[in-house]
Amino acid sequence: MSYQLKDVVRLHGRDLIFATRYWQDKLVNQLQGNPDKSLVLCNSYPKSGTHLLYQILYSIPGLHKWDDIVSVQALCGVMNTVDHIRWKVGSAPNHAIVRSHLMYCDEIFKILKDFNCKTLFIYRDLRDVAVSHARWVTNEERIFLHNFYIAEDTFDQQLMYSIKGVPIGSPFSSNASQPDIGSDFRRWSGWITDPGTLSIKFEDLVGERGGGSEDKRLLRIEQILDHLSISIPTRKVKDQFASYVLNPNDSHTFQKGGKGSIGGWKTYFTENHKTEFKKVAGELLIHLGYEQDHNW
């Protein structure tokens, strides 16, 4: 469970690649007198519907897929540096859609401003996030908590880790840890009120396929287009962006985290899960508008 030297060495090698791309791209643009690049940031709290938003964005004319994902933490558990995030975002081509899991803080905000990023942030009912996270960790061998989760006999306990977190030193001598879901989400919550960011609930965007409203989905897509200053006739929006047109199975994390839908947590949460969740994120759930009170 401890961070391995090979992981650190590999991450330094990875950073060297992105730094090289970043500086080469910067030099070429300066020599050719190219205008500053413009990027679209498809940002999310992890397991909240990144690929759902990404599919919508890459279906918009003029925006381009980009294979990489920028995150504050590597799969091995090591936190990425500010330089890594700058180099990786900066190596994306002009008009690319940059998928990301980036918390809200001054350092990241400054990087995005430097690259003229138009930012969108998607978030989700944290109870569904906890279920998806537990499924993902147990199925993704590369994630640093994988062995810790699969050592448990039941999904109930794995889900409890995704709610309560994993304290440092658990198991003994481990320096890998995970905060409780409420504390963790609060590092991202600034995006919701940021005036330059369009924040969207997963539940508003999932459409009928995921148990939501198709009208609300199309309304949110029109808001996305307005945010990006892109004009598409309303009729074409309906034809092109209906929930049944896009294929969620294109996402490997969708497969490993459990299919995205609304309220799936009700199948997995026991009374113990509810009690522990309310302790760490009950008030947050109410603040985000997913519950009126604690009587759920």
Average pLDDT over residues 264-282: 97
Asked whether residue 254 carries a pLDDT value surpassing 80, the answer given is no
What is the per-residue pLDDT for 238?
Answer: 85
Cα separation, 170 vs 173, whole angstroms: 7
What pLDDT score was predicted for residue 64? 94
pLDDT surpassing 80 at residue 5: no
Residues of each domain in the chain carrying CATH 3.40.50: 5-124+185-253
pLDDT at 76: 84
Q: Which residues pair with 198 in a beta bridge?
A: 120
SS3 content of the chain, % helix, strand, coil (to 5): 50, 10, 40
- pTM equals 0.90
Helix (H, G, I), strand (E, B) or coil at 84: helix
The C-alpha angle 23, 96, 143, rounded to 5 degrees, equals 85
pLDDT confidence of residue 167: 82
**What is the mean predicted confidence (pLDDT) over 76-105?**
94
pLDDT of residue 68: 93
| The predicted structure's pLDDT at residue 1 | 41
Q: In what order do the strands lie in the sheet with 39-44?
A: 69-71, 97-101, 39-44, 117-123, 197-201
- As beta bridge partners, residue 120 has 42, 198
State how far the Cα of 73 lies from the Cα of 13, in Å rounded to an integer.
16
Q: What is the pLDDT of residue 249?
A: 56
Task: Say how far apart CA 123 and CA 1 lie, in whole Å.
Answer: 29
The pairs formed by 265-271 with CB atoms below 8 angstroms and a separation of 24 or more are: 265/125, 265/127, 265/128, 265/130, 265/131, 268/131, 268/155, 268/156, 268/159, 269/127, 269/131, 269/159, 270/156
Residue 29 neighbours by CB under 8 Å, 6+ apart: 36, 37
Predicted pLDDT of residue 3: 54
Indicate the range of 72-86, 164-178, 212-226, 233-247 predicted with least confidence: 164-178
For residue range 120-178, what is the model confidence (pLDDT) as tens digits? 999 999 999 999 999 999 999 999 899 899 999 999 999 999 999 998 766 655 667 89
Residue range 5-124+185-253 in CATH 3.40.1710: no
Q: What is the DSSP string of 88-123?
A: HHHTSPTTBEEEEE----HHHHHHHHHTTEEEEEEE
